[in-house]
Amino acid sequence: MTQVSENILLKSGTLADGSVKDVLIADGVIHSVGDSLNPGDARIVSAEGHIVLSGLVDLHTHVREPGREDSETVLSGSQAGVKGGYVALSAMANTSPVADTAGVVEQVYRLGKEAGLLDVFPIGAVTQGIEGKVLAEIGAMADSLARVRVFSDDGNCVSDPLVMRRALEYVKKFNGVIAQHAQEPALTVGSQMNEGIVSATLGLKGWPAVAEEAIIARDVLLAEHVGARLHICHLTTAGGVEIIRWAKARGISVTAEVTPHHLLLTDELARSYDPIFKVNPPLRTERDVMALRQGLADGTIDIVATDHAPHPGESKECEWQEAAFGMLGLEHALSIVSQTMVETGLLDWAGVQDRMSTAPAKIAGYSEHGRELAVGAPAHLTVINPKAPYRVDRDSLASKSRNTPFHGMEFTAQVVATLFHGRIVFGKDRFL
C-alpha cells in the first residue's frame, strides 16, 4: 500500500462500458482515459483482464465507534472497506453515544480523516437517542464539518408517523434524505427470524414481512404528501419491491437499498440454529431473494448497501435468542454481487458501477464520488479480477470481528486493488 500519491498508468483494464482502455492517474486525479496512453513518469500497472470501476460507495455501514470499539473502529472498518473495494463509507448513527449532535458526527468524521484510507461520511440520527420521539439537532449536524445529509435511526424504526412526517419535511431545507429502517415495533416484539414455514418448525418467534411492508407503504405515501425524498434501508421482501415499484411509477421520490446477504441467503439457514445467520431485518425466503435480484436488475432497487454489522465473538457463540443481530459485509459485497447478479446475467458491470458507486453517491450527495472515471475527478477506483476464485476464511478478515455468514463459501470475483485519491490503499498481487 502506498501512502504517498504517485502517478499510475493502469493499462488495458476493462471499463464499466466494456471498452478496454488505459487510465492515467496523476496528482490524485484522473488525468486521461484512452488508448495507448503515454505514461510519462507514471508507474505502469497492467490491468489486463481486470474490471476497472469508479470506487464503491457504501450507504450503510456500522463502524461501532464511539462505544463498541471492541467489535470495530473507524480505522478497522476503513481497512475492511478498502479490502472490499470501497472508497466511501456511511457511518450509521446507532453508536454509543448516539450520533445525534454535531459533536459526535464531527468526531467520527475526524477519525475517518485520521485513518486516511477512504471517506467516512457520518449519518446523523433522525431522533434524539434514536428513541423515535423527538427530532435530533438535524440542522446542526448538516452544518457541521461532517456536512451530514443522510439521516437514519437505523437499528430502530421511526415508527411514529407524525415524527416521520416532520423529519421528512425538515430535511427538505438542505435537500437531505431520511433513510428508514422499516420495522413496525408492535408486530416484531421479541422476533428472531422471518415468520414462515421455517420459524414454525424451529419454534423461533417470527418477524413477518408485513411489519416491513406496512411501514414502507406508509412512508412512501408520506413522502409523496409532503414532497420529500425517502430512502428505504435494507429491503428484504418481494412485497416491498412491489411497493417501491408502484411508488416510483407514481413519481414518488423514493430510493431503496438491498444488502449482499439478502441477495444470497435464505431463512433455511436458521435450521442449524447458528446465530451467525441472525440479522435484522431477517433472511427471508427464496421467492424474496429472487424478487430482490430482479428489483436490483431493473433499477427498482437503486443500490447495494452492506449493512456491515460487526459483533464480538461472545455475541454469536450462544443460543439464538441471546445472540446479537447482524453480519459483516464490506469485504465480500462485490464478490456476492458478482455471483448473484453478474454471473447470472441479471446485471452487467456498468450496472454494478451504477448500483455500487454512482447511485449511492448521488442519493447521499457525495459529489466527489461515483463520477465514473471522469477526467479531472478524484482518482477513486476499484479494480476487480472477475476470475480469481477464493474461499472465505473468517480468520483472515481485516475487520476486528469474525461474524461473517460466508465463512467457507467460494466466490469467483475478487477486488484486487482500491485507489483513493490516486493512492493504492488496498492492493493484492501485482497491485502491491
Partner 1 sequence: MKHLLSIADISRLDAIKILDTAEELAKVSDTPMKKLPTLRGRTIVNLFAEDSTRTRISFETAAKRLSADVINFSSKGSSLSKGESLKDTAQTLQAMGADAVIIRHGASGAPARLADCQWMSGAVINAGDGTHEHPSQALLDAFTIRRHLGQGREDLTGLRVGIVGDVLHSRVARSNVLLLTKLGAHVTLIAPPTLLPVGVESWPVSVSYDFDSVLESLDVVMMLRVQLERMQELFFPNAREYSRYFGLNSARLQTLHPDAIVMHPGPMNRGLEITADSADSARSVILEQVSNGVSVRMAILYLLLAGDTSIEAGN
> Which of 195/354 has CB closer to partner 1?
195
For the CB of residue 187, give the shortest distance to partner 1 in the complex, in Å: 12
Position 204 contacts partner 1 (CB under 8 A): yes
Among the listed residues 96, 105, 95, 94, the one whose alpha carbon sits nearest the alpha carbon of residue 132: 94
For the CB of residue 314, give the shortest distance to partner 1 in the complex, in Å: 7
Binding mask of the shown chain, residues 227 to 266, with x at each position contacting partner 1 by CB under 8 A: ----------------------------------------
Active-site residue identified among 22, 153, 307, 354: 307
Contact status, residue 9 vs residue 37, Cβ threshold 8 Å? yes
> Which of 84/196 has CB closer to partner 1?
196
- Which of the ranges 24-32, 130-138, 247-255, 314-322 carries the binding residues for partner 1, by CB under 8 A? 314-322
Position 96 contacts partner 1 (CB under 8 A): no
Query: Which residue is it, cell 416491498?
Result: 240
- Which of the ranges 86-94, 155-163, 191-199, 333-341 carries the binding residues for partner 1, by CB under 8 A? 191-199
Contact status, residue 179 vs residue 156, Cβ threshold 8 Å? no
Q: Tell me the C-alpha distance between 153 and 181, whole Å.
A: 7
Candidates 19, 38, 321, 344; binder of partner 1 (CB under 8 A) is 321
Return the residues of window 268-297 that contact partner 1 according to CB under 8 A: 272-274
Q: How far is CA 116 from CA 52, 110, 202, 310, in A?
A: 22, 10, 46, 21
Candidates 200, 290, 374, 375; binder of partner 1 (CB under 8 A) is 200
Q: What angle do CA 74, 80, 82 make, to 5 degrees?
A: 100
For the CB of residue 192, give the shortest distance to partner 1 in the complex, in Å: 8
Complete DSSP assignment for 11-75:
EEEEETTS-EEEEEEETTEEEEEESS---TTPEEEE-TT-EEEEPEE-S-B---TTT-TTT--HH
Name the β-bridge partners of 135.
127
Contact status, residue 186 vs residue 238, Cβ threshold 8 Å? no
Query: Which residue is it, cell 475517518?
Result: 112
Position 325 contacts partner 1 (CB under 8 A): no
Candidates 69, 160, 317, 343; binder of partner 1 (CB under 8 A) is 317
Position 222 contacts partner 1 (CB under 8 A): no
Among the listed residues 258, 336, 259, 351, the one whose alpha carbon sits nearest the alpha carbon of residue 298: 351
Position 195 contacts partner 1 (CB under 8 A): yes
Binding mask of the shown chain, residues 128 to 167, with x at each position contacting partner 1 by CB under 8 A: ----------------------------------------
For the CB of residue 158, give the shortest distance to partner 1 in the complex, in Å: 25
Residue 416: how many CA atoms within 13 Å on its side-chain side?
25
- Which of the ranges 89-97, 301-309, 317-325, 392-400 carries the binding residues for partner 1, by CB under 8 A? 317-325
Longest CA–CA separation in the chain, Å: 67
For the CB of residue 208, give the shortest distance to partner 1 in the complex, in Å: 7
Any catalytic annotation for residue 307?
Answer: yes
Candidates 202, 214, 269, 398; binder of partner 1 (CB under 8 A) is 202
Q: Tell me the C-alpha distance between 13 and 54, whole Å.
A: 12
Residues taking part in catalysis? 307
Which positions touch partner 1 (CB under 8 A)?
195-204, 206, 208, 272-274, 314, 317-322
